């Protein structure tokens, strides 16, 4: 599953919302307001065209799409960026004094 062309600034709020299953708790975790998290959730819902979190009684549950997204988001946020190996970089750089 791909996250598509998601605004990267929404990845951390998405992870918090899906793990906490609660807008207020996700906001507290990220040291942001409940209204800011609600705004992020609204943007995420539009992006994925899915509710992501649905209220069941006094709790929230993840939609099937949100269940599939959670491990993808977690892996995306923990995967270190790919850096070129030193020998790869040297192969692409021109030698000093040569043009």
Find the CATH number of the domain harbouring 56.
1.10.10.10
In tens, the pLDDT along 64-88 reads 999 999 999 998 888 666 666 666 5
pLDDT at 37: 95
Over 90: is that where the pLDDT of 20 sits?
Answer: yes
- Give domain status of residue 2, yes or no: no
The whole-angstrom separation of Cα 90 and Cα 99 is 15
- Give domain status of residue 12, yes or no: yes
Kindly indicate the confidence band of residue 2, based on its pLDDT and cuts at 50, 70 and 90.
low
Residue 57: give the domain boundaries: 8-80
In the DSSP assignment, the letter for residue 16 is H
Averaged pLDDT for residues 52-73: 94
- Give domain status of residue 98, yes or no: no
- Give domain status of residue 76, yes or no: yes
pLDDT at 6: 79
Over 60: is that where the pLDDT of 41 sits?
Answer: yes
pLDDT at 79: 65
- Give domain status of residue 24, yes or no: yes
Query: Which residues does residue 59 pair with via DSSP β-bridges, in sequence order?
Result: 56
Helix (H) or strand (E) holding 76: helix 64-78
Over 90: is that where the pLDDT of 97 sits?
Answer: no
- Give domain status of residue 22, yes or no: yes
Domain count, the chain: 1
């Amino acid at each position: 599953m791909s996250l598509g062309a998601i605004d990267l600034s929404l990845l951390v709020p998405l992870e918090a919302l899906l793990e906490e299953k609660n807008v207020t708790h996700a906001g507290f975790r990220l040291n942001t307001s409940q209204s800011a998290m609600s705004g992020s959730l609204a943007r995420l819902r539009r992006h994925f065209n899915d509710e992501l979190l649905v209220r069941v009684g006094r709790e929230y549950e993840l939609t099937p799409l949100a269940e599939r997204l959670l491990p993808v988001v977690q892996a995306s946020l923990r995967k270190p960026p790919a850096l070129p190996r030193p020998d790869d970089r040297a192969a692409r750089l021109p030698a000093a004094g040569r043009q």
